[in-house]
Amino acid sequence: MICVMGERDLDWVGDRVVEPIVSSVFTEEERRGLCVSLIWGLELRAGDGGAWEETARRDGTLWWVWVKFKLRPSGEVAQWRLCAAGELDDLDVVRQAAFDLGGWVEDWFCETSVGWGQQRHAQIPSLTEE
């Protein structure tokens, strides 16, 4: 099963999940040097013999929502797999994904050149049915 999702879904995740978390950790000035991208992608893992293989969930879903971060001018790059594309309609899964992303952004921030050694706390958005 391959889930077909659209740009509207990525916009929703960006506006309701990613942006509030990033804004709570990075100052406005720090965000000017931060590029955040939301992308659909596959997860790859090293298979037998070193070849890269697509990993699939038990339900066959291959597509994932990835959040990619790039700090300029240092060029530091990081990415986080948010959730499977087919899980975006499950608000409980998205809430947990937001919580996990918030913790990861906190950890990543204090390891970057911008936030080295600083502890910041992510504000996890309260997601409700629309």
How far apart are the C-alpha atoms of 106 and 101, rounded to whole Å? Answer: 9
pTM: 0.81
Q: Which two tokens stand for residue 9?
A: 């879904």
What b-and-e string marks burial along 10-40, b requiring 16 or more CB atoms within 10 Å of the CB?
bebbbebbbebbbebbbeeebeeebeeebeb
Express each pLDDT in 7-66 by its tens digit.
678 888 999 999 999 999 999 999 999 999 988 877 655 555 555 555 555 555 567 888
- Give the list of residues 6+ apart from residue 88 with CB closer than 8 angstroms, or none: 5, 9, 12, 13, 65, 94
